[in-house]
Amino acid sequence: LAILHTPVSRSTFSYFQCHNIYGKSFMRTDYSIECYSLSNGEWYAFLPVVLLILVLYCILMPVSIGLYIFINRKKLYTVKIQQKIGFLYQGFTKNAEWWLVHEMMRKLLLTGFLVMIPTVLKTPFGIIISLIALINLNYFKPYRNIYLFWVSQASFCITALTFCMSSVFDFNQFNGNNSMEKEEERVAIILISLNVFFFALTVISAIMVIIVLKQKIDIIRKKESTKVIPFHESERDEVEK
């Protein structure tokens, strides 16, 4: 459910993303459906289902997980609680067990909340959300695996830089300035390069994690193979004979 939270939230919020064309609003994902139209009730017909998913799944699920972890914060490492929800925080450090909720809310804001606000505010809010997430990542250092930490570090930095550089396109669009095409091309090349770098870093980190896991498995096998098994006295007599 946590893995599906981001794509489902993005699809749910996109239901409210409409494009105004000559005084009428149409869904950007399906221009055959007119938004907020009483004459064509197709948009309102699916609205209750969308609101139900939005409230119960997109918003209440991370909030419920966060509240449950907070209420049981002093019992998180007891056997009873670990058997119930230990899988939610087993990869995180102590006092950062809530990081899964942090990530769900961050992605919800970046992929959903930004759809609902005016275009002129999307880039500033995206920068603010990305910088706050980056500060939290470096302050709490939630990941036990150092490779995951640095992949997240690169991801958060690239996201913040993407929003910062997209302000160039926004500036030209709002001011009707078409004389900065070369600058826009350079910014686009930088953004593509950053994403390629992140992809390469992710692949390298995945390979390193596999190598470390293999080394740990080999060490465990060696310990098991060299384990001394005591003989029973009757077995020892049979061996001596």
Structure confidence at residue 99 (pLDDT): 93
Backbone torsions φ then ψ of 231, nearest 5 degrees: -85, 145
Burial 46-68 (b: 16+ CB within 10 A, else e): eeeebeebbeebbbebbeebbee
Q: What is the DSSP string of 24-40?
A: EEEESS-TTSBTT-SSS
Give burial (CB, 10 Å; 0-12/13-18/19+) of 185.
exposed
Q: Are the CB atoms for 173 and 123 separated by under 8 Å?
A: no
Rounded Cα gap, residues 91 and 87, in angstroms: 8
Indicate the residue type of 224.
Answer: E
Structure confidence at residue 191 (pLDDT): 74
Rounded Cα gap, residues 156 and 133, in angstroms: 7
Query: What does the DSSP 8-state code read for residue 98?
Result: T
Structure confidence at residue 168 (pLDDT): 65
For the chain of 241 residues, list the mean pLDDT of each consecutive stretch of 10.
81 84 82 79 85 90 92 89 88 90 90 80 87 92 88 86 74 56 70 77 77 77 64 50 50
Structure confidence at residue 147 (pLDDT): 82
pTM of structure: 0.74
Q: Are the CB atoms for 44 and 38 separated by under 8 Å?
A: yes
Structure confidence at residue 100 (pLDDT): 92
Closest by CA to 157, choosing from 177, 135, 181, 186, is 135
Structure confidence at residue 180 (pLDDT): 58
Rounded Cα gap, residues 33 and 50, in angstroms: 15
User: In sequence order, which residues have a C-beta less than 8 Å from that of residue 165 and are 6 or more positions away?
Assistant: 187, 190, 191
Give burial (CB, 10 Å; 0-12/13-18/19+) of 168.
middle
Closest by CA to 157, choosing from 131, 191, 139, is 131
